[in-house]
Amino acid sequence: GIQVEQSPPDLILQEGANSTLRCNFSDSVNNLQWFHQNPWGQLINLFYIPSGTKQNGRLSATTVATERYSLLYISSSQTTDSGVYFCAAANYGQNFVFGPGTRLSVLP
């Protein structure tokens, strides 16, 4: 099945800084989602983005399906952005697979 990798594994930022998180996947996809898991363990769906670019406030995401990667951009980071960011993808007819996550800590 599809394999999903994320980088970096850990990221520490000062409040106000920008960051880019990367997700690589091993095969073509018909689903790619970015999630934020907050410190209470809740999974928040950020983007459904199998291709193209989307923006939602300070967050945006781009998936280049032909090159098998997706990027999540966080601008002007806030302490509430802390947590783990997961990328997950599904190949046609196969199951939804999660990457190992990027742990983000935003310091005040």
Partner 1 sequence: NAGVTQTPKFQVLKTGQSMTLQCAQDMNHEYMSWYRQDPGMGLRLIHYSVGAGITDQGEVPNGYNVSRSTTEDFPLRLLSAAPSQTSVYFCASSPRGAGNIQYFGAGTRLSVL
Q: Which stretch binds partner 1 (CB under 8 A): 17-25, 29-37, 51-59, 69-77?
A: 29-37
Structure tokens at 73: 């951009």
Q: Which stretch binds partner 1 (CB under 8 A): 11-19, 52-60, 69-77, 93-101?
A: 93-101
Q: Which stretch binds partner 1 (CB under 8 A): 17-25, 59-67, 68-76, 82-90?
A: 82-90
Q: Residue 22, Cα to own-chain centre: how many angstroms?
A: 7
DSSP for 20-75 reads EEEEEESS--SEEEEEEE-TT--EEEEEE-SSEEEEETTEEEEEEGGGTEEEEEE-
25 binds partner 1 per the rule CB under 8 A:
no
Binder of partner 1 out of 43, 59, 65, 71 (CB under 8 A): 43
